[in-house]
Structure 1
Amino acid sequence: FPPEEAETIVRDIEWTVGRTGVVTPTAIMDPVQLAGTTVSRASLHNPDYLLAKDIRLGDTVTLHKAGDIIPEVGQVILPKRPATATEAYPIPAFCPACGQPLVHTADEVALRCINPFCPAQIQESVTHFASRDAMNIDGLGPKIVAQLLAKNLIHNVADLYKLTFDELTGLEKFGVTSANNLLEALANSKENSVERLLFGLGIRNVGAKAAKVIAAKYGDLTAIAAATADDIADLPGLGQTIGQSIEQYFAEAPTQALVREFQELGVNLKFISDGPVATDTVFSGKKVVLTGKLTMFSRKDASDWLERQGAIVSGSVSKKTDLLIAGADAGSKLTKAQELGVEIWSEAQFRDTMEA
């Protein structure tokens, strides 16, 4: 069935800066009900997408949910375009956060701020570093990160490990208990296996799974930093793009200084194995995709368990997929798996196999 569609009016276009400097436009629209939720924002992805859709302020647009989840603008309804919308929406030339000139290189569609001291990039980088799949620093959300930066208590992610009790209790709405809890979370994060640190550094193209593959192969951050792009590219499921990103990142002097800081602050730089990978299970060597809402366990716990059973967990369905595990409200991945004849399990089937 085609996705549910609604009409709404674009009132503004907001530009935000991500942790890698990519500046992304977002449509701010009149709220509408769509597939069970109220939607008033939708990413416009990049300037080329915005220009191709020719979205202007005041335009009436169609809206649907891509993959039944992500709000997406379909098209402009031109007969309803207001007379005032006479020109294409202007693409910014300067970063909305730091005011430095933006770059639109020939080899990518993204508009990018390349100022390493851009406050928006630093805030996004620190927030990512503290996130659950990275260093998992409980209590260090975006609002706390914003306060730490505003008070000049941190300038990079290593500075988090220099924070004191007195500095934290000086933050707004941050009392004794909150300060002690955050200091404990920071201390605990020092013991993480190095793949969490590698992912937390926010290196372009390096996701959590790639970070774990790299960490398991090289054993510690010093060896990873010394690896060549070709070495990294040869690892299963990686390739030259990730290899080059790793090599370029660790070749930079600020990165080398950051690694030294981590060493001095007692942050673990070694890979800690979570046990041997089984080679004789029903999942060994199988490419498995998880989709939909899982209610019996988290997506991460399910992925980690599958990997320990020898499975290769992927985020997309293809002809090479061996098994799809579908939770509630599974969308396009389930449809594609059915079309390709991929074996499909319910969450209950998966649980029964785990407990067998």
Structure 2
Amino acid sequence: MEKKAAEQKIQELSEKLHYYNYKYYQESVSEISDYEFDMMLKELIELEEKFPDLKTSDSPSQRVGGDITKNFETVEHKIPMLSLGNTYSKEELDDFDGRVKRGLGEESYEYFCELKFDGVAISLHYENGKLIRGVTRGDGSKGDDITNNAKTIRTIPLKVRGEQFPEYFEARGEVFLPREAFNEINREREENGEALLANPRNAASGTLKMQDSGVVAKRKLDCFLYSYAGEDLPIDSHEEGIKQLEKFGFNVSQTYKKCKNINEVFNFINEWEEKRHSLPVDTDGIVIKVNSLGQQEQLGFTAKSPRWAIAYKYKAESSTTILKEITYQVGRTGAVTPVANLEPVSLAGTTVKRASLHNANEIARLDLRVGDTVHVEKGGEIIPKITGVDLTKRDLGSNEVEYIQECPECGTELVRAEGEAVHYCPNKKGCPPQIKGSIEHYIQRKAADIDSMGERTIHLLYEKGLVKNVADLYDLKYEDVFELEGFKDLSTQNLLKGIEESKQIPFENILFGLGIRFVGKTVAEKLGAHFKNIDNLAKASFDELIEVPEIGERIAQSVVEYFHDEDNIKLIERLKSAGLQFEIQETVIEQKGNVLENKSLVVSGVFEHYGRDEIKEVIKQYGGKVVSAISGKVDILVAGENMGPAKLQKAEKLGVKIIDEVEFRSLIKEN
């Protein structure tokens, strides 16, 4: 076959296969037999092998996988994938509704309710209608590029349906392993004598990170989409976004509902409490969102989650089992956590063998004894916990639990600060779990981001005496690493390269990585932004620290104590000498005027004299603030060519001033 004829045949086969795939997986309609489908796919693959330059990124052949990804590239989310606040109480939902009402003032509002599926969050990026990237949620700001694996999920469109689609958009959703597919995998593993997978959620997460996309394709993952995101999309509500995803051919669970008020939300929650168990996928609650995108922007965000959405979790499943023994774990901060070791019990689709007991107070509150029959549940159907004891089954000869007095790892006498429930090992510079834990904390993605290093490598380096603190990482030589068990030339170079690249990580990330008690990622960012560099922070007094917004006395005292420790100062000096960033790198916006000062502007459409980012930069240079959605708080809509009619109509309805590019240029020149 000549190339031109092959190109035409490949296009014909691709269109047919995309169509049959959609009908089967989205509409449950089989227009041809499996055999006919497989023969068409086989013919396509053979043609693409013969003419490899004719194979496209959205070819149906991508569904079968086969690509090997040894390292998953880290991708920064254009729009952060924030987590939601949770509640198990309808009273707290009422409180949430009250906060929404106060935040919106006199405006009426409605909610959009969706089932919360127990899977792995994913962001799918589309350009010109074609899937170009699939990214996991990761830490919310950055995730892993798992595009090859995402393409094997047959309900994810490689190419959207229809013609009217934005040049670029994101579709966000939840990848999951249906219960039937999960049970089938475990049956096969049992027959092969392999360890069984724990639960569908963990199996889905592990599958998405497999290196061989061919294996991923066989796992039969599925995906429900629940968010349509991007800049200047022609929608004004979450519901409109969902309807658009459906038009594009995405797999949207038909379990959603728009609710006029909180009472209708309660009815929806009650309706699905039992009915959800009939679905092919595990669910653990309901997500409630304010429907209007403009109102979402008005309500805004906290540091961790949106103020316009919340997740209601159903009550956890519970069971009973025997408490065999209590052991103790030491964390990186020295906190000692008692752990209940249990007779294995099946709970919410998983086998539970252990549960955290938190602290000595919790053991005393429950009056636990080894040998007790205990009630166990999974909080939010995720984390196992003991909720009580069946005293009718208690052995009369059982003894009260005596909490340990010495660290189980280094033998140091434990301390318990006044007003705190947790026992601590104070030997932070000599207790192995604390040393290794502090290094594990430092290398994580939110901190120094040394992704070529893991827990096992840290253990090997520590046992060899090569690393006792994070500064030692920067003294490692090729021969130190190469001699470690399992290391070869490439893995050694990758590790050293990862350590070297961490020298470019921003100051606020390194500050978080130092592991100062109570200084989480958000606190580190606030301290970095306020004090600008490590020297200013080190010299800050308690009073100066508590003047920083959201920095309380506990955090301030911890920071002061950290910088009064001579060993910590020496550690930081070593990190400075190694080349780490200990100063905020600020981007200064050149101010050209103030004609837009204290004004909020929305930019929409295409402009003759400006790119999208360029006009936003100009607005900032003249004192303005750029927001993404039309609301009553917007002062000006800068309307370009081809902007969405819905946004224009809403601006007119709310009385927002609308100007075109000529008027905008005139406005800033007048200044």
TM-score under structure 1 length normalisation: 0.75
CA distance in 1, matches of 2:600, 2:376: 47
Give the superposition deviation at 1:82.
3.0
Contact 2:315-2:380 within 8 A present in 1 as well? no
C-alpha deviations, 1:146-203, integer Å up to 9, x for none? 1111110011110011111111111111221111111111111111111111111111
- The one-letter amino acid of 2:402's match is P
CA RMSD of aligned residues (A): 2.3
Give the superposition deviation at 1:310.
8.8
* 1:118 aligns to 2:434 (yes or no): no
Helix, strand or coil: the match of 1:75? strand
Choose 1 or 2 for highest CA Rg: 2
Contact 2:563-2:569 within 8 A present in 1 as well? yes
Q: Give runs of aligned pairs for residues 179-198 of structure 1, distance below 5 A.
A: 179-198=492-511
- The one-letter amino acid of 2:412's match is Q
Give the superposition deviation at 1:141.
1.4
Evaluate the alpha carbon distance shift between residue 272 and residue 165 of structure 1 in structure 2; reply closer, same or farther with a 3 A threshold: same
CA distance in 2, matches of 1:254, 1:81: 50
CA distance in 1, matches of 2:468, 2:542: 29
Give the superposition deviation at 1:273.
4.6
Give the superposition deviation at 1:226.
1.2
Residue in 1 aligned with 2:411? 99
Gaps of 5+ in 1: 283-307, 312-356
The one of 423, 427, 448 aligned to 1:135: 448
Give the superposition deviation at 1:104.
2.0
- The one-letter amino acid of 1:80's match is K
Aligned residue pairs total: 284
Contact 2:372-2:390 within 8 A present in 1 as well? yes
Give the superposition deviation at 1:230.
2.0
- The one-letter amino acid of 1:75's match is G
Give the superposition deviation at 1:36.
2.6
Helix, strand or coil: the match of 1:13? strand
Evaluate the alpha carbon distance shift between residue 184 and residue 12 of structure 1 in structure 2; reply closer, same or farther with a 3 A threshold: same
Contact 1:14-1:27 within 8 A present in 2 as well? yes
Residue in 2 aligned with 1:351? none
C-alpha deviations, 1:101-156, integer Å up to 9, x for none? 11123221111111131112101111111112111111221111111111100111
Residue in 1 aligned with 2:55? none
Give the superposition deviation at 1:281.
7.5
The one of 258, 261, 264 aligned to 2:571: 258
Helix, strand or coil: the match of 1:16? strand
Helix, strand or coil: the match of 1:25? strand
Helix, strand or coil: the match of 1:155? coil
* 1:47 aligns to 2:356 (yes or no): no
Contact 1:12-1:57 within 8 A present in 2 as well? yes
C-alpha deviations, 1:295-317, integer Å up to 9, x for none? xxxxxxxxxxxxx9899xxxxxx
The one of 400, 424, 430 aligned to 1:88: 400
Residue in 2 aligned with 1:327? none
- The one-letter amino acid of 2:480's match is E
Evaluate the alpha carbon distance shift between residue 6 and residue 164 of structure 1 in structure 2; reply closer, same or farther with a 3 A threshold: same
- The one-letter amino acid of 1:47's match is A
Evaluate the alpha carbon distance shift between residue 309 and residue 163 of structure 1 in structure 2; reply closer, same or farther with a 3 A threshold: farther
CA distance in 2, matches of 1:279, 1:114: 53
Give the superposition deviation at 1:32.
2.0
The one of 476, 491, 506 aligned to 1:163: 476
Contact 2:373-2:394 within 8 A present in 1 as well? yes
CA distance in 2, matches of 1:104, 1:179: 42
Residue in 2 aligned with 1:335? none
CA distance in 1, matches of 2:502, 2:361: 40
C-alpha deviations, 1:204-242, integer Å up to 9, x for none? 111000001111111111111111222222222221111
Q: Give runs of aligned pairs for residues 162-241 of structure 1, distance below 5 A.
A: 162-241=475-554
Helix, strand or coil: the match of 1:125? helix
Helix, strand or coil: the match of 1:102? coil
Give the superposition deviation at 1:279.
8.6
* 1:8 aligns to 2:321 (yes or no): yes
CA distance in 2, matches of 1:74, 1:97: 28
Contact 1:216-1:273 within 8 A present in 2 as well? no
Evaluate the alpha carbon distance shift between residue 310 and residue 23 of structure 1 in structure 2; reply closer, same or farther with a 3 A threshold: farther
Give the superposition deviation at 1:31.
2.1
Evaluate the alpha carbon distance shift between residue 138 and residue 309 of structure 1 in structure 2; reply closer, same or farther with a 3 A threshold: farther
- The one-letter amino acid of 2:466's match is L
C-alpha deviations, 1:282-332, integer Å up to 9, x for none? 9xxxxxxxxxxxxxxxxxxxxxxxxx9899xxxxxxxxxxxxxxxxxxxxx
CA distance in 2, matches of 1:200, 1:250: 15
Helix, strand or coil: the match of 2:353? strand
CA distance in 1, matches of 2:368, 2:416: 20
CA distance in 1, matches of 2:542, 2:569: 17
Helix, strand or coil: the match of 1:103? coil
Helix, strand or coil: the match of 2:361? helix
Residue in 2 aligned with 1:27? 340
Give the superposition deviation at 1:8.
1.5
- The one-letter amino acid of 1:94's match is E
Evaluate the alpha carbon distance shift between residue 281 and residue 237 of structure 1 in structure 2; reply closer, same or farther with a 3 A threshold: farther
Contact 1:279-1:310 within 8 A present in 2 as well? no
